Each structure stands twice: as C-alpha cells, then as structure tokens.
C-alpha cells in the first residue's frame, strides 16, 4: 500500500522518513503538513495542493509538479535539483512568493517568467538556473551560490545579493533598482557596461 495516496487529503500530519521515490500522486491535498527526512525523488505530483507545508531535509530531486499549487510552503536543507517550476499552477495575482527556500540545493531548475516577488532563496546552491523574465523583486539571495545561472529581463528591484557569490548579472538587461550587492562580488556587474574598460592595477 502506498504511503502517500492519490485522491486523498492530509491535514496537520508529520510525514517522517517516508520513502516514496519514483511514484505517482494525483489530486491529493496537503494542509499544514511537515515532511521530515523524506525521499520523494522523481515522484510525479499531479494536480496536488500544498498549503502551509514545510519540507525539512528531504530529497525532492527531479520531482514533477504538473498543475500543482503551493501556498505558504517552505523548503529547508532539502534537495530540489532539476525541477521545472513552470509546470505548477501559479496564482494570477500574488503579493508574496508562495514558496521559499533556506539552505537548499536547486541546481538545474527553471523559474522562467514566474512572478515570485519576495521569494527567499537564502544560503542555497542555485547553479545553472534559468531566471529569465521572472519577477523576483525584493527577493532574498543572500549567501547563495549562483554559478552559471541566467538573468535576462528579470525584475530584481530591491532584491538582496549581499553575501551571494558567482553571479553574472547584466545590469543593462535586468531591473536592478535599489538592488543590494556586496563587494567584492559586485565588481562583476561592471562587465556589462560597455563604456567601462576594466584593467589590472
């Protein structure tokens, strides 16, 4: 019998050390649930709802989230590599991001065109991620590593990159109004300004 059933509802549950990899879950609703130490990698979630849920130390690599909805969901110390976040069912109007991440690994994922204002991506590994055309205004990237991640026509107004490393942001192709950066990483922003020539001292 499956530990997580399709067409079910889980309310105020703690799911601990659940091993449910490469499975399928359809149209299940999770309300106020906490997932701890669960292995759900490559599981297909279809039209599921996650409301006020928390994932702690979970393996969610390569999961699919087709038509899933998220509201006030946090991920901490978890692996979320290779996820297409575009596949989820996102609200049309939202003042704050419905998902947030702390000390997570999200490499090789895509957030193209998503409106995730005030999203927290703090202390995360964000390597080779596509953020083009997304609204990430007031986002928190502090202390994250952004190797090879791409920003193009991205709204980064009032976002925080202090302590973040290895980012390459063309300030002529992205909105960076009142965006916070810290030295020495902020020097990389100068490479996008053609009128400035950088030379060794």
What average pLDDT score do residues 67-82 get?
98
Mean pLDDT of the chain: 92
4, 15 Cβ separation under 8 angstroms: yes
Distances (CA, A) of 105 to 44, 60, 126, 130: 19, 10, 7, 14
Closest by CA position to 189, among listed 138, 146, 130: 146
Q: Could you report the per-residue pLDDT of 76-99, keeping only the tens digit for each?
A: 999 999 999 999 999 876 778 999
Tokens found for residue 57: 């130390």
pLDDT tens, residue by residue, 149-196: 999 999 999 999 999 999 999 999 999 999 999 888 876 776 655 544
Give me the pLDDT at residue 96, please: 87
The reported pLDDT for the residue numbered 136 is: 97
Structure tokens at 74: 């946090």
pLDDT in tens, 14-34: 999 999 999 999 999 999 999
Sheet holding 44-46, edge to edge: 24-26, 44-46, 64-66
pLDDT confidence of residue 135: 97
How far from the centroid of its chain's Cα atoms is residue 56's Cα? 15
Judge whether 144 and 121 are in contact, CB under 8 Å: yes
Q: Mind giving me the DSSP string for 116-171?
A: -TT-BEET-B-TT-B-TT-B-TT-B-TT-B-TT-B-SS-B-TT-B-TT-BS----T
When pLDDT is cut at 50, 70 and 90, the band that residue 5 belongs to is very high
pLDDT over 50 (residue 199):
no
Q: What is the pLDDT of residue 67?
A: 98
Distance CA 101, CA 143 (A): 12
Looking at residue 194, its pLDDT comes to 53
């Amino acid at each position: 019998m499956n530990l997580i059933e399709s067409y079910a509802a889980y309310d105020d549950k703690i799911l601990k050390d659940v091993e449910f990899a490469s499975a399928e879950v359809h149209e299940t609703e999770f309300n106020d649930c906490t997932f701890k130490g669960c292995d759900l990698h490559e599981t297909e979630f279809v039209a599921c709802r996650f409301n006020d849920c928390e994932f702690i130390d979970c393996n969610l690599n390569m999961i699919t989230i087709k038509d899933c909805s998220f509201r006030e969901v946090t991920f901490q110390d978890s692996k979320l590599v290779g996820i297409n976040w575009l596949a989820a069912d996102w609200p049309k109007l939202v003042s704050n991001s419905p998902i947030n991440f702390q000390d997570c690994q999200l490499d090789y994922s895509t957030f193209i065109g998503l409106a995730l204002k005030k999203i927290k991506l703090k202390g995360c590994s964000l390597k080779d991620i596509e953020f083009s055309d997304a609204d990430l205004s007031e986002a928190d990237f502090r202390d994250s590593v952004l190797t090879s991640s791409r920003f193009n026509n991205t709204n980064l107004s009032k976002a925080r990159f202090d302590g973040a490393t290895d980012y390459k942001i063309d300030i002529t192709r992205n909105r960076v109004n009142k965006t916070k950066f810290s030295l020495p990483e902020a020097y990389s922003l100068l490479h996008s300004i053609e009128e400035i020539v950088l030379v060794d001292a």
